[in-house]
């Protein structure tokens, strides 16, 4: 008799982005879903993707491609996309007033994994944040198998050793798809946005 093993996958997009930059390739979500289902002998699988994106009017480039990607995940691959705009917070720095952006999705991931607790047998987390250790421990104590996927330099020792198994996704070549073009330009853009954000409103206070 075939044993049921319903798999729920929870993907922290910010942690995954760091791995994609290291690999210089985009993760292929269709291949990744298939890989997870086969590796853990899943009867069914559901994937949840958590991301925070720049609010409209805060960038000098179009965000259309990002939103098209979210639509592709949802309608093309059946992935549940949980998203929110980056929160902009006024802070004081040595240079004066500035704006920082925050988009932590830890709470959303935790709520969903708890809300669906009775629906799955195996939980897979794409994250490396040690803050998830209490959640992982709780799920394991309630009979769930919990596995963590992340990448070197982005995984905490606590989370790596506290689950039923850890895998470095950089070592699984078949999960990776298109080349991440213009990596240098992307990194420059990220640094420029970060500097501009920290300077915003700061000059007016000088």
**Encoded tokens for 121:** 């047998």
pLDDT value of position 97: 67
How far is Cα 145 from Cα 7, in angstroms, rounded to an integer? 9
Q: What are phi and psi of 9, to 5 degrees?
A: -110, 130
User: Pairing mode, if any, of strands 6-12 and 44-53?
Assistant: parallel
- Is the CB of residue 57 less than 8 Å from the CB of residue 91? no
Residue 82 pLDDT exceeds 70: yes
How do residues 189-203 score in pLDDT, each as one tens digit? Answer: 555 544 444 444 444
Which of the four pLDDT bands, split at 50, 70 and 90, describes residue 15? confident
Strand partners, 87: 102
How do residues 40-74 score in pLDDT, each as one tens digit? Answer: 999 999 999 999 887 666 566 666 788 899 999 99
pLDDT value of position 205: 43
How far is Cα 67 from Cα 165, in angstroms, rounded to an integer? 33
Q: What are phi and psi of 63, to 5 degrees?
A: -100, 10
Which of the four pLDDT bands, split at 50, 70 and 90, describes residue 206? very low
Strand partners, 200: none
Which of 16-20, 73-77, 191-195 has the lowest average pLDDT? 191-195
pLDDT value of position 92: 64
How do residues 91-125 score in pLDDT, each as one tens digit? Answer: 666 666 665 656 688 999 999 999 999 999 999 99
The total number of residues shown for the chain amounts to 206
How far is Cα 13 from Cα 132, in angstroms, rounded to an integer? 15
User: Pairing mode, if any, of strands 165-168 and 145-150?
Assistant: parallel
How do residues 133-169 score in pLDDT, each as one tens digit? Answer: 999 999 999 999 999 999 988 899 999 899 999 999 9
Query: What SS3 state is found at 70?
Result: helix
| Domains of the chain listed by start with CATH number | 6-205 (3.40.50.1010)
The beta strand positions in 28-170, using DSSP E, are 44-53, 80-85, 87-93, 96-102, 122-126, 145-150, 165-168
Query: What SS3 state is found at 23?
Result: helix
pLDDT value of position 194: 47
pTM: 0.81
Dihedral sign for Cα atoms in the order 39, 16, 135, 137: positive
């Amino acid at each position: 008799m075939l044993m049921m093993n319903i798999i729920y996958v929870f993907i922290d997009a910010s942690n995954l982005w760091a791995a994609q930059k290291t690999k210089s390739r985009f993760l292929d979500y269709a291949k990744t879903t298939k890989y997870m289902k086969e590796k853990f002998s899943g009867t069914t699988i559901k994937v949840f993707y958590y991301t925070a994106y720049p609010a409209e009017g805060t960038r000098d480039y179009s965000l259309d491609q990002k939103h098209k990607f979210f639509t592709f995940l949802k309608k093309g691959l059946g992935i549940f996309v949980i998203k929110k705009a980056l929160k902009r917070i006024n802070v004081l720095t040595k240079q004066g007033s500035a704006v920082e952006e925050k988009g932590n999705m830890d709470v959303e991931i935790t709520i969903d994994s708890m809300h669906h607790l009775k629906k799955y047998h195996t939980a897979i987390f794409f994250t490396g944040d040690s803050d998830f250790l209490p959640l992982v421990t709780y799920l394991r104590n309630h009979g769930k198998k919990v596995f963590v996927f992340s990448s070197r330099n982005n995984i905490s020792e606590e989370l790596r050793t506290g689950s039923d198994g850890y895998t470095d996704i950089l070592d699984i070549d078949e999960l990776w798809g298109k080349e991440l073009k213009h990596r240098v330009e992307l990194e420059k853009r990220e640094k420029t946005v970060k500097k501009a954000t920290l300077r915003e409103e700061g000059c007016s206070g000088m």
